[in-house]
Amino acid sequence: MLSTIQNTDVKQKDADRAVVVAVTTRAVFESGDGDGVYGMGVAFPLLQALQRVNQRLLEENPAESLLFDVVLITTDSQQQQQSSRIISSTRHHGLEIGRFCFSSQEDFIESLLKNNVQLFLSTDRNEALQASQKGVLSAVLDRQVAPSEQLRVMLCGDAVVRPDTGPVPASQQAAQSFSARLGEMRRRFSMLDSPLSIVLVTSSGGRESCGVALRTLRSRGLSVDEAYCLAGAPRSPILSVLRPHFLLSDGVID
Amino acid sequence: MCEVKPNDSAPTEDGGEEKDWTAAKAFFDNLKTNKPRPPKPRYAVTIAVSSRTLFNMVAERKIYEDEGLEKYVAYQVEHEEEPLKPGAAFPFVKALMDVNCRLRKLYPDSEELFDIILMTNNHAQVGVRLINSINHYDLTIERFCMTGGKSPIGYLKAYMTNLYLSKDSDNVGEAIEEGIAAATMFTQEMDSELSTTELRVAFDGDAVLFSDESEIIVKQQGLDSFFEHEKEFENKPLAQGPLKCFLEALGKLQRKFYAKNERMNCPIRTYLVTARSAASSGARVLKTLRNWGLEIDEALFLAGAPKGPLLQKIKPHIYFDDQMFHIEGARELGTISAHVPYGIGQKYHKGKLIEQPAKEK
């Protein structure tokens, strides 16, 4: 059974213009024992970074409608039953969450689609895969990398450019449209001192692959800030310096 | 000794790394152009060059300084189809590529090669012009970090960098403090008569290959004390300086040529150019090198004579010195020089102590 509850503590975003980001309850809150308020989970720093971007966007323009609209989504029945605890924990931590979507394992994807979610973030790889297969841009939240104040979105460039054969798969369409919105949001800020940084990483191709990815993203309206071409070099030492909040691979989870 | 790269007994990479490596190998193997693929970082001698040392970006830099970042990036994007002109590190990079060619012929399956990476603070949009320029000269630079203003130090470490060249003395200073061999380069007129068969690297001794312990004695107690001290401690090896590990890395590659009977044709040649004199203070230096198991091809003891004319004859692809006085003298006569901001020499100019303004906190 699906249900959506609006968070009355938070001003609702413009449904047409906002970028809807769904994060799973499991990612945001640490389950722990007892009945009290939940502790902070893996996605906490991410939510704070998203909030900072919104704050800065409103500082630039108080009437800004291109904002992140964060929804908290449960993906199994067990979480679904904890609804009041989830809502009170959100309130307790002062999180800028617009809506709570309660669903089960069988229908959480339907919930994502109904709520026009443009990016789905989960600590569970299978959930992300399932959502991606149904055309929702998804990413797995990585527990290991300690994130920064600035929202750092990492794009994996090896998948950015595909041969132009056949129809574009739904997940790739979702990725492209998200990139364009992100690009528009990024343009609200100057090059220095931006609360949002777009990072491109290519893992296996040479410099030309990265160059092509840069130009392709540019043509889709996304101007990348930082670019790293690994050409086969080990990824994890670089990632631990890069500290992205999440990695997008153009709709394909690898 | 030099711990830039993990030793062979270190555990091999995890499955994810192997996957990336295999994918990269497949990518390059499938290219029609026969472009060589970059070596595995843990086995390679990694040289990181900044965009302003690789290319001449003086005019663009001026736009950045006069008109700000946004205008600078817009200018670069507007001109991105125009290749940049070569910079101070360009001949050095070409010479590294030539050594790699020779190594690949002798050891087709080895990963012990030079790995040249572009390490720049530039914004990624400027990167398109940089990539186009690298393409134009067909340089074998496949790896890069364009940090969009953030410090490169973390990435230098992540790549296990053996040598970092930049025009930004702050970045270079920070790298040296983190134990990475680094030097600041300067714009200069390009000498077209550099060797095309031999990579020539020249080093000053004190505070470059060796620590500045003896240099301190010269500066604070004078030359006579220095000579006495060096004679007394002739058999005690000097402590290592910031570029010692780079010399060691070069030596490792040289030995690969010797092993194939190519000593007479070795395409790497190293020089020590020191103000010490052979008769007195020189012995300690040679004994230290021997103690370290390092060879240097030519040791030139100038006994205080100017280094410029000698360097002019050697024509190194790069010359490392810790004292700006010597760097300036070398550059005046056309030598490609790189300043190593390390040790007591930074506090002096032409023998006199520089009054340091109080540092702002």
Interface contact A208-B125, CB threshold 8 A: no
Nearest C-alpha neighbor of A253 from the set A126, A111, A108, A152: A126
pLDDT 10s digits, A200-246: 999 988 999 999 999 999 998 999 999 999 999 999 899 889 999 98
Interface contact B145-A228, CB threshold 8 A: yes
Q: What's chain A look like in SS3?
A: CCEEEECCCCCCCCCCCCEEEEEEHHHHEECCCCCCCCEECCCHHHHHHHHHHHHHHHHHCCCCCCCEEEEEECCCHHHHCCHHHHHHHHHHHCCCCCEEEECCCCCHHHHHHHCCCCEEEECCHHHHHHHHHCCCCEEECCCCCCCCCCEEEEEEHHHCCCCCCCCCCHHHHHHHHHHHHHHHHHCCCCCCCCCEEEEEEECCCCHHHHHHHHHHHHHCCCCCCEEEECCCCCHHHHHHHHCCCEEECCCCCC
Nearest C-alpha neighbor of B121 from the set B97, B89, B145: B145
| Lowest model confidence (mean pLDDT) among A30-39, A231-240, B175-184, B200-209 | A30-39
- Residue with the bigger pLDDT between B49 and A10: it is B49
pLDDT below 70 — which residues of chain A? 33, 143-147, 159-167, 250-254
- Which pTM value belongs to this model? 0.92
- What is the rounded CA–CA span in Å between residue A201 and residue B88? 28
pLDDT 10s digits, B109-157: 999 999 999 999 999 999 999 999 999 999 999 999 999 999 999 999 9
CB-nearest to B154 from A200, A203, A241 is: A241
Interface contact B124-A215, CB threshold 8 A: no
Minimal CA separation from B336 to chain A, in Å = 27
Whether A81 and chain B come into contact, CB under 8 Å, resolves to: no
pLDDT 10s digits, B12-37: 556 677 888 888 888 888 887 778 88
Which residue, among B20, B76, B133, would best test binding to A if mutated, counting the most A CBs under 10 Å from its CB?
B20
| Longest Cα–Cα distance in chain B | 64
pLDDT number for residue B47: 98
Minimal CA separation from B26 to chain A, in Å = 9
Does B359 have pLDDT greater than 70? no
Question: Complex ipTM, two decimals?
Answer: 0.92
pLDDT 10s digits, A126-144: 999 999 889 999 998 876 6
- Residue with the bigger pLDDT between B251 and A144: it is B251
Minimal CA separation from B117 to chain A, in Å = 9
Two structure tokens written together for A186: 């990024």
pLDDT number for residue B134: 98
Report yes or no: B271 and B200 within 8 Å, Cβ to Cβ: yes
Query: Is B204 one of the annotated active-site residues of the chain?
Result: yes
Interface contact B125-A224, CB threshold 8 A: yes
CB-nearest to B142 from A191, A197, A207 is: A207
Q: Of these residues, B29, B66, B168, B204, which one is catalytic?
A: B204
Whether B314 and chain A come into contact, CB under 8 Å, resolves to: no
